[in-house]
Structures are given as C-alpha cells and as structure tokens.
Structure 1
C-alpha cells in the first residue's frame, strides 16, 4: 500500500532534507522513525527537498509498505520516534499512481524577514534579518515583474540540476506587519535556491540599490552572476504543496498555524 504524510519541521539542526551518509538530514530521521513503526526498511519520496536551515509548515512525502497499520500509527506512533523538531501532521492511504513530487501542481514558500537595526534574538534561525529600512512599495512593484512564466536562470543555483530554468510563478505577495516583512511565493515548482535568490534581489531593490525594473534586466540576462547573493535560509518555510482535489489530501489552510501569511 502507498501512504502519504503531511509533516512540519524546524530545519535549524539539520543538513537539509536529502539523506546524507552522516545521517544528519530530515529524511534520515523520518525514515528511521517510519521503519521503527513498520518493522521494515522504509524509503520516502518528498514533494520537494529543502536546504540546510530551511523549515517547513507543510511538507508532503509518500512511501510504500507491506505493513498494515491504522492511520493514527503513522501520525502519533511515528511522532513518538521523531525528534521534537519534526512532526507528522496527517496520514492517508492513496492509490499507487500518486506521487508526492510529480502529482503536485503548485508549491508555496513563505519568507519571514525581520527588518530592524538589531539582529534577532528570540527568533534566531526562524527569520531572516536585514538592518537597513526597506521600501515595501518598490519591492512589491519588482515582485509583480516576476509573476508569470519566465526563464529564471538568473535566480538558480550554479549546482541546480533541473533540466529547464523555465518556471511559472502564479503568486508573489509582499506585506509588512510591524518590523516583519512577509514574502509569499507560489509556483508550479522552484529551482534550487530560486526563492532565496529572489529575496536577495528584492532586498537590494528595497534598500534602494536598484530600481524595480532591475528585475526585468535580470530576467533578460539569464545569468546568475548579475543577481544579488543568495539570502539567508533562516526565514524560509515550505508552506504548502497543492494537489488535484481528487487525491483528498488536506490543504495547507487545514493546519492553521498562520493567519493571512503571518505567524500567529
């Protein structure tokens, strides 16, 4: 049978999602806990790999097993074997043609940026930080230029293994709540470091280094060397993976940890 899980995690103490020989990855911890419940070796497939230090409010994985367990065992039982910074939120059984990665039609990321002179203390590793005041309206204007189908070569990591740099951003919204700037990005999929590279460029624009139409220049260059440095992983959260409703997988909004894109 094929089981799908929705989980959340704090990525601060891990070397990223993908399994490593040092067993320092989130995937390593989840597979170990699942194997303990299933009493067999479990390997999982994820909707999207996150980098070291990146968090998730809503990540999706699937795995195949010969072991029959109540769905509650794949939630509370597995959580009993997981570190406290990783938690299974939901489990369901799906047909064998479901695939956590290839069946997904949209991914959503949130980036929380603390914009104040002093670095964060309580929220260390949970938010990005920039000390110079940022102009919200200019960043919003720049963000609109990224919406749609584009060649995002200027925003992909050098080691990105995607066959094509073309992606479609369906939503890019930026709001300010006090000293917190929240970036909400949704796309069919994202390239390696694409979100963090976009944030870095928008911050350059927000601090006045470039005008909003610099984004158009970067899209035309199709060259990573022209863009801003990759921004900190600390404030980045995978916040949703959307599937066709026929799969009966709950939406991100069914887990109300945030309201209107802002941490409660």
Structure 2
C-alpha cells in the first residue's frame, strides 16, 4: 500500500458535512465513491478535521492508503473527472506511511466571513457570509486578543464530541479585508479546535462588536468555562477551513508548520 495525501476545496452548502453518514450527502462519501471507481475496492479517506454541514474548505487535507497497482494513476486529474462540481482536488502527493492527515497536523487556520452592510447582500455571497451588519472594529480587535494563548475553551465547545481536554492554544487571531468593501474576514490559527469552537468564538465577537458586551466578556467566559453563558453559535455558511499546516512532511511548502502535533484537535 502507498499513502496519498490530497488537498481538497469544497463548497459545503449542499453537504451534510465532511464525515460519512448513511443516506446523506457528505464530502467523505463522495470522495470515497470516486476513489473506489478507480481502485475497484473500498478505500477509507481520513480527513484532517470534520467540517459541519454548510462549512466550506479551501485546504482540507486527506490521506488514503492505495494499492500498489494504482500508484501510477494521475490522481488529481482522475478524481476531478469523477467528483461533483462542488468538490475539487487542489494537490496530490505521496507521503510516508507515518503521515496522518489529522494527527500529523501542527496548526490549522480557519477564516470566517462577515457581511457588514445592513441594506443589501449580494446574492452570490449569501452562502458564504454571515450578514451581521455594522460592527465596532475597535471592540472587535480588543476582544480577539483575549482568545490568544493557551486557555480552557469549555465555554466555546458545543456538545457532541468526547475530548480528553478542552484546553487549546490560539496562535493568531486577526481581522482582514474581505472580498468586497462590505465584508471582513476573521482569521484564526490554532494547534487544535473543539467542536464548533470557531463559530462560537465568532458569535461572541459579533455580540461584542454590536455593543452588547464589553471586550472583557471573552475573558469572563474563558474563566467561567460554562457554554450556557456564552452567545449563540455563528452560522455555518461563513466558516471555511483555510489551511492545515504540517511539520517535516513538507517543510518549507504551503503546508509547513511550526509546532508539535496536537492529537486532540477536532474540526469545525
């Protein structure tokens, strides 16, 4: 067997998330179906994280263990000819057997797009942004700083996934321009994330930036560790898994990383 690493992009609008579910349309299900056409046997696709229904990806990383008889297949071209229009393979590479798309990851980067204009929403952006209206950028920037570093994120984890610890390390959290003057993007990088943690952080930030809480509200929630006290989860459609970074596997390339793996990290 040879291990193949894929980098995928997908529009999550019409998917019930990444993870295979019987009778439901999932990214993993569509990918495994396409791979089976080529190999003639079932092959499990292991993703770097489990994105939820409606969540998009520009850099989902997947690994597959393929029969030796199929290593000469031009996998990018072959899979893109079989996959539906809302999934595409951006890159392929053979990797060592000890590479794991999830456990070898050292950092992940998610982006969340916010539409900050109240009077209209461009129709072609409606599945990719949260229309939240005008925001106080100073309050938003101040609040993001409270998330930086190692904290217990129990107040920002939704139920549904068992983890040994809710402590995570956020390395960077910043605001940058979006695709138009009516959007902003929040970009967060961490060594691992809890279930719907990014969407919960964004929900909290928007409440603060609307003037309904002080930026220090983030610190209070982190200290109290109580999900019931935190604001509602932001919609899935604004979230995108942007990059997954690795260490020595492809040091110096677009997937290079800086820290040791966090094996408890989960996707959004």
Paired residue secondary structure (1:145): helix
Structure 2 equivalent of residue 257 of structure 1: none
Is it true that 1:203 corresponds to 2:206 in the alignment? yes
Shift of 1:123: 0.8
- After TM superposition, the structure 1 = structure 2 runs for residues 1-264 of structure 1, keeping only pairs within 5 Å, are 1-69=2-70, 73-117=74-118, 118-131=120-133, 133-177=134-178, 178-247=181-250, 250-251=253-254
Instruction: Please tell me whether the aligned partners of residues 95 and 249 of structure 2 are also in contact (alpha carbons under 8 angstroms).
Output: no
Aligned counterparts of 1:71 and 1:236: Cα–Cα separation in 2: 35
Deviation string 1:57-113 (CA, Å, 9 cap, x unpaired) is 001000111143456621010111100010011111111111100000000000111
Shift of 1:161: 2.0
Distance 1:213 1:22, change over 3 A: same
> Greater CA deviation, 201-210 or 23-32?
23-32
Instruction: Please tell me whether the aligned partners of residues 196 and 232 of structure 1 are also in contact (alpha carbons under 8 angstroms).
Output: yes
Q: Which runs of 5+ in 2 are unaligned?
A: 257-268
Aligned length: 252
Q: CA RMSD in A?
A: 1.6
Q: Which runs of 5+ in 1 are unaligned?
A: 254-264
Deviation string 1:27-64 (CA, Å, 9 cap, x unpaired) is 00000011111222111111111000000000100011
Deviation string 1:236-256 (CA, Å, 9 cap, x unpaired) is 000000001444694169xxx
Paired residue secondary structure (2:158): coil
Aligned counterparts of 1:222 and 1:31: Cα–Cα separation in 2: 38
Distance 1:122 1:247, change over 3 A: closer
Instruction: Please tell me whether the aligned partners of residues 34 and 74 of structure 1 are also in contact (alpha carbons under 8 angstroms).
Output: no
Q: What TM-score, normalized by structure 1, do the two folds share?
A: 0.91
Structure 2 equivalent of residue 262 of structure 1: none
Instruction: Please tell me whether the aligned partners of residues 104 and 243 of structure 1 are also in contact (alpha carbons under 8 angstroms).
Output: yes
Aligned counterparts of 1:43 and 1:84: Cα–Cα separation in 2: 21
Aligned counterparts of 1:130 and 1:120: Cα–Cα separation in 2: 14
Shift of 1:120: 4.2
